[in-house]
Amino acid sequence: MPKKIVIVEDERPMLKALTIKLQNEGFVVEDCSDAAQFFEKIKNESFDLILLDLMLPKISGFDVLESLRIQKNEIPIIVASNLSQKEDKERAEKLGAVEYVVKSENSLNDIVEKIKKFLN
């Protein structure tokens, strides 16, 4: 049974590239371009992993992490963001992220490898 990943990313080219790359690796991928869409999706579907950007329109990724923590979320969350400050990483991890990837410092392959390492 293939692992199912939900990507929350508002940059269309990045969302598309990640989706295609992960599908090519055999994952089932659902994508969301904002937090509201994501919360709707996780109400009705289960996922093995959440790939979350922090800079989202309206509701930030930090707010998503906070909300998931309150809901006692059990799904592992990997944050993929361009925020590279140590404080952002620490805050995300404190809110439950299992991994923090700076997009500008990692290739798509690096991100996919981290996901595979985590799910296998």
Buried b vs exposed e over 82-95: b needs ≥16 C-beta within 10 Å?
ebeeeebbebbeeb
pLDDT at residue 6 in the model: 98
- Is pLDDT at 120 greater than 90 in this prediction? no
51's CB contacts (< 8 A; 6+ apart) are 5, 6, 7, 8, 9, 18, 77, 78, 80, 111, 115
- Give the Å distances, CA to CA, from 86 to 3, 75, 90, 95: 30, 24, 6, 14
- What one-character DSSP code corresponds to residue 77? E
What domains can be seen in the chain, in order of their start residue? Answer: 4-119 (3.40.50.2300)
- Is pLDDT at 112 greater than 90 in this prediction? yes
Total-model pTM: 0.96
| 16-40 pLDDT per residue, tens | 999 999 999 999 999 999 999 999 9
